[in-house]
A and B are shown apart, each in its own frame.
Chain A
Amino acid sequence: MSKILSTYGPLLLRAMGQTLLLALYGLFFACIIGMIVGIMSVIKNRVCKGIALVFVNLIRGVPMIVLAYFIYFGIPYLWNTILAIGGLTLSALEAGTICLALNCGAYMAEIIRAGIESVDIGQMEAARSLGLPYWRSMQRVILPQAIRTMIPSIINQFIITLKDTSILSVIGFPELVNTAKNVVSKTFMSFQTWAVVGVMYLIVILILQQAAKIVERRLKRGHRSL
């Protein structure tokens, strides 16, 4: 154990950094995708609703590992060989970010849709009856209330996404699992290595969960905290 820590500790820590970086990129774009698709699924427009529904179900119906292969190998192959448009290469970081963003974005969209729908319809009606347009009502009245109920689920989704980065080891991104595999193949100390990796994930996730608790407690304390 101590040999793994002293020799490969810094390497694994750097890999953890890469994992967090990938998760952060993915989450950033996932939030944008989730917001757009989530709102598309609540507005009174059939086309928007349809697109949102297809997107969410498509992503949720495909395992992330398949999505990862598809984006990393499939899309460039389509672009360069089948369509022969040429020169598209995706780095593992780019493909990984897209993959996480799409995957997490679909789940975020569902969280955001449910959050918006949890706000009493009367709030929107009151805003509209005062003459406020739909989007202003959304921004000023509905979303601030929806976000309160969404935050615990969003943090939970963050944690899931952080763990999902490990799937991206299959496309060769040097995140924690991929790096650990290399360490094991060099040292054959699989018990020690995987134990260390497990604890590293655990620590980060425990910290996130703690943060989630604090946020939740502050939200419960009343509307003023927003």
Chain B
Amino acid sequence: MDTEACRNVKIRVQHLCKSYEKLEVLRDVSLDVFEGEVVCIIGPSGGGKSTFLRCINRLEEYNSGTVYVDGQNISAKGVNINTIRRNIGMVFQHFNLFNNMNVLNNLMLAPVDLKIYSKEEAKALAMKMLDRVGLADKSNVYPDQLSGGQKQRVAIARALCMRPQIMLFDEPTSALDPEMVGEVLEVMRELAADGMTMVVVTHEMHFAREAADRVLFMDDGQFLEAGDPDSFFGHPKNSRLQDFLKKVL
């Protein structure tokens, strides 16, 4: 583990607890994600995966514990969460493209509005990112005219326009027709190959197996098992993970 100790920790989650009213959703969860690492989280529905992911950019407030992004405690006093979020791209299950603007404006909104880039720079960047996800010809189209797979690729491009160092994916392919899953996973694979730090909640076991550096199993608000894909899928130790894998594979 010496090599890991030298690596840069991008996300450090310590003793995270979160509950809705009486329902404990996250129970003392800790995780370090290193620079350039791809971490996949799998687990049954209701296990707390989305909640965990959404705590990392404080889309969800947590009850106790600490989240550090790039060494910065995101809930510390005086921290501007908006500045931290610029560095964390998020991709949602239901895409959440802005319906009131076309693809190009979806991509340009935040960079221009936050004065990170001039209009011209933002446009050039947006076109570059669209090209990267293979949708340069769709820049003037509105979201409701895109297929699911195209929407999700635009959503990824939109997040990339903020030049984030971290990307969070919450079941990015779960709302897609099967024939469109591949194109989105392909974009994610390329991102991973480019060294992006990624946390991916997914039900795509093949993707987790090929693309992840580490896979985690979350159930009942805890990580019950973690490991490299080969041992995780090859020799699962936790009995609930064994059951889960039997069902989904």
Contacts and interface: CB of A to CB of B under 8 A. Distances in A.
Contact of B162 (A130, A133, A222): A130
Contacts of B98: 123, 126-127, 140-141
Interface in A108-134: 120, 122-123, 125-133
A125 to B, nearest CB: 6
B99 A145 contact: yes
B100 A145 contact: yes
A160 to B, nearest CB: 28
A131 B110 contact: yes
A122 B113 CA distance: 19
A74 interface: no
Nearest to B86: A131
Contacts of A207: none
Given A125-B92, A223-B142, A223-B144, A141 B158 contact: no
A218 interface: no
Interface in A133-189: 133, 136, 140-141, 144-145, 148
B100 A226 contact: yes
Contact of B142 (A123, A125, A144, A222): A222
Contacts of A132: 82, 109-110, 113-114
A52 to B, nearest CB: 23
B59 A128 contact: yes
Contact of B100 (A122, A126, A130, A141): A141
Interface string B124-164: 00000000000000000010100000000001001100100
A158 B57 CA distance: 43
B96 interface: yes
B189 interface: no
Interface of A: 120, 122-123, 125-133, 136, 140-141, 144-145, 148, 222-224, 226
Contact of A122 (B86, B94, B162): B94
A144 B89 CA distance: 24
Contacts of B88: 129
B138 to A, nearest CB: 15
A131 B162 contact: yes
A214 B144 CA distance: 23
Contacts of B162: 130-131
Nearest to A122: B96
A129 B114 CA distance: 13
Nearest to B158: A130
B110 A130 contact: yes
20 contacts: A123-B98, A125-B59, A126-B90, A128-B85, A129-B59, A129-B90, A130-B109, A130-B110, A131-B84, A131-B110, A133-B82, A136-B113, A140-B98, A140-B113, A141-B98, A141-B100, A141-B109, A148-B100, A223-B142, A226-B100
A34 to B, nearest CB: 21
A128 B85 CA distance: 8
Contacts of B90: 126, 129
Interface in B65-121: 82-86, 88-90, 92, 94, 96-101, 109-110, 113-114
B46 to A, nearest CB: 19
B110 A223 contact: no
A131 B82 contact: yes
Contacts of B110: 127, 130-132
A131 B96 contact: no
Contact of B83 (A120, A128, A131, A141): A131
A223 B100 contact: yes
A127 B99 CA distance: 12
Contacts of B96: 120, 122-123, 125-126
